[in-house]
Amino acid sequence: MRRNEYLIKAFFFLTACVSVTILALIMIFLVKEGAPILSHVTLKEFLFGQYWYPTDDPVAFGIFPLIVGTVSVTLISTLVSVPLGVMTAVYIAEIATDNLAAIIKPLVELIAAIPSVVIGFFGMVVVSPFLQDTFGVPTGLNLFNASLMLAFMATPTICSVTEDAIRSVPESLKEASLALGATHLETIFKVTVPAAISGISTAIILGMSRAVGETMVVLMVAGGAAMNPHSLFDPVRPMPASIAAEMGEAAFGSEHYNALFATGVVLFLFTLGFNLFAAWIAGRYNRK
Amino acid sequence: MKKIILVLSLICLASPAMAGKLVLKGSTTVLPIAQKATEAYMALHPDTVITLSGGGSGNGIKAIIDGTATIGNSSRFIKDKEVKQAVDQNAYPVPHRIAIDCIVPIIHKNNPVSDLSKEKLRDIYTGKITNWKDVGGPDMKIVVISRDSSSGTFDAWKELVLDGERVTPAALTQPSNGGLVTQISGTKGAIGYIALGYINTDVKVVSVDGIKGSEQTAKNGRYTISRPLFMFTAGWPEGETLDFINFILSPKGQALVKEAGSITLY
């Protein structure tokens, strides 16, 4: 009996080791393949260079427009997905009847099950012509379209994590508020939501990190122009789209190949930052 | 002793198959043609093993010079510097013209513009001209669409139209030919470029300097945005390599060239 238990423990320990090792190997590989680019350009030129011409002569490996692309689609999609996700969660957790919540919740979670290529295709053939016809913009494949599609993908994440946070607010807090004469809505916005704010922050950051790393959607609908956008309807080229579009053709071991891996490292640092931040906030939340 | 004879005879039996090994490397423009050709060739000669990889024209030529490939695919002619390098290493590069590549500018169906000069095309792609009214069209912003920088079509466009100048950073990029046609057919102010084999009726082809890109004008040299595609060998090809080159130049091989979207030699 004891031996069995020992074996099972060892098995789970090994499994845990495998995932940690794989993560470590991926990191090592990324850095190893990306670092050689620094022998062609300085770190400053790479991160803040305005021009991305990886195959031209002379070459230019400046990923600043790509970073701006990633940051801008992430921020704008957050502006859309946060109100949508948080309010849906409030509705499901606090306002909707149990029956209605039992219908809406699975439907929202179903959005997360739509493959990103389908959402990208939707953006290309439905949203893009709509934007062109309605706003008269030259191209419908732009920052706004990509942000909208990403918001669509991040909303279920934000919604379900927020809902958990709201549900874990102690009943006694709400009862106290109601007993003091506050209405239902006042209780929700002045007591329940503030009490769940750490959990909601975690939800938002998880949603954002989903948007940062998403590849297919931005490859299909962001337009792919490596420039700093001047308006909401300008095309952008976020980092994942650039990597996906160019990696297939970049000669193995070339400067371009290294530059794409280095872009991957930057992207990895972005998502790592988001996740660490989310973990930090969640940690603070648990201590309270 | 018997064993040794057996082994020797096995080696003798195996050797014809061992000789049938080709390594193709180089241009991504030639890649679709080479892919179709190698598949068809291997179906005809099951003993032959062909490995095919991209890497760009420069790498293809380099590979035949240093002997890492039997055939170097290239979408351009060999440069003087490369010839010198090759001769220094006792490899005499021999070009084999296998197909013609022709690239045409395409726009939205309802756009009245029907002809653009090469200079205007260059100005549009470098970002100097941004409105259709400057090239005789309606007052509408030009949506410049380019292929991704690693595509062979992009390479040719840059060389033949842009004179090596950079495409404006505001240009949208499309990873595939199909996506490009879809995008242009749905965007009123769009302009793009595509290999002749990929055009369909959803988009309008613009003539360049008064000459419309077609199989005929590309073959007789009047349409200037076209170029021959090459396979280079080190020295005059022999054996299996010669067989393979002859296969591509045969009517059967040229049919595959057409299938791959390029123009046949004859």
Complex-level ipTM: 0.76
Q: What is the pLDDT of residues B96-115, one digit of tens each?
A: 999 998 899 999 999 999 99
Q: Does A53 touch chain B (CB under 8 A)?
A: yes
Q: What is the pLDDT of residues B80-94, one digit of tens each?
A: 888 888 888 888 999
Q: How many CB pairs under 8 A join A and B?
A: 81
Report the chain A residue with the minimal C-alpha distance to residue B143. A138
CA–centroid distance for A231 within its chain: 22
Collapse the DSSP code of B105 into the 3-class scheme (helix H, G, I; strand E, B; otherwise coil) and give the result: strand
Alpha helices in B214-259 (DSSP H): 215-219, 239-249, 251-259
Residues 6+ apart with CB under 8 A from A130: A140
Residue B55 pLDDT > 80: no
Q: Does A136 touch chain B (CB under 8 A)?
A: no
Structure tokens at A262: 């280095």
Q: Residues of B numbered 60-119 whose beta carbons fall under 8 angstroms of chain A's beta carbons: which are they?
A: none
CB pair distance less than 8 Å for A53 and B149: yes
Distance to chain A for B150, nearest Cα, Å:
6
In chain B, residues with a C-beta closer than 8 Å to the C-beta of A54 are: 149-150
DSSP state of B197: G
Q: What is the pLDDT of residues B245-266, one digit of tens each?
A: 999 999 999 999 988 878 898 8
Q: How far apart are CA B187 and CA B173, in angstroms?
A: 14
**So what's the pLDDT on residue B12?**
44
Q: How far is CA A266 from CA A35, A239, A263, A270, B133, in A?
A: 11, 9, 5, 6, 42
Residue B17 pLDDT > 80: no
Confidence of residue B11 (pLDDT cuts 50, 70, 90): very low
Which runs of E-coded beta strand occur in B160-209? 172-174, 190-195, 203-205, 207-208
- Least CB-CB distance to B55: which of A219, A223, A251? A251
Report the chain B residue with the minimal C-alpha distance to residue A65. B169
pTM for the model stands at 0.78
% of chain A exceeding 90 in pLDDT: 64
**So what's the pLDDT on residue A165?**
92
The count of other CB atoms within 10 Å of the CB of residue B207 is 16
B79 phi, psi to nearest 5 deg:
-85, 155
For chain A, what are the domain ranges? 2-287
Confidence of residue A280 (pLDDT cuts 50, 70, 90): confident
Confidence of residue A33 (pLDDT cuts 50, 70, 90): very high
| Least confident piece of the model among A16-25, A118-127, A267-276, B5-14 | B5-14
Q: What is the pLDDT of residues A74-108, one digit of tens each?
A: 999 999 999 999 999 999 998 989 899 999 999 99
pLDDT: which is higher, B58 or B239: B239
CB pair distance less than 8 Å for A55 and B149: yes
CB pair distance less than 8 Å for B172 and A235: yes
% of chain B exceeding 90 in pLDDT: 41
**So what's the pLDDT on residue A286?**
60
Q: What is the pLDDT of residues A35-56, one digit of tens each?
A: 999 988 999 999 999 999 887 7
Mean pLDDT of the region B153-172: 86
Confidence of residue B120 (pLDDT cuts 50, 70, 90): very high
In chain B, residues with a C-beta closer than 8 Å to the C-beta of A51 are: 166, 169
**So what's the pLDDT on residue B95?**
94
CB pair distance less than 8 Å for B28 and A249: yes
**So what's the pLDDT on residue A63?**
94
Domains and CATH numbers, chain B: 4-100+228-259 (3.40.190.10), 101-219 (3.40.190.10)
In chain B, residues with a C-beta closer than 8 Å to the C-beta of A226 are: 169, 173
Q: What is the pLDDT of residues B189-225, one digit of tens each?
A: 999 998 887 788 889 999 999 999 888 898 888 998 9
CB pair distance less than 8 Å for B164 and A57: yes
Please calculate the CA angle A102-A103-A106 and round it to the nearest 5 degrees. 85
Q: Is A28 exposed, middle or buried (0-12, 13-18, 19+ CB in 10 A)?
A: exposed
CATH number of A2-287: 1.10.3720.10
% of chain A exceeding 70 in pLDDT: 97
Residue B8 pLDDT > 60: no
Q: Does B240 touch chain A (CB under 8 A)?
A: no
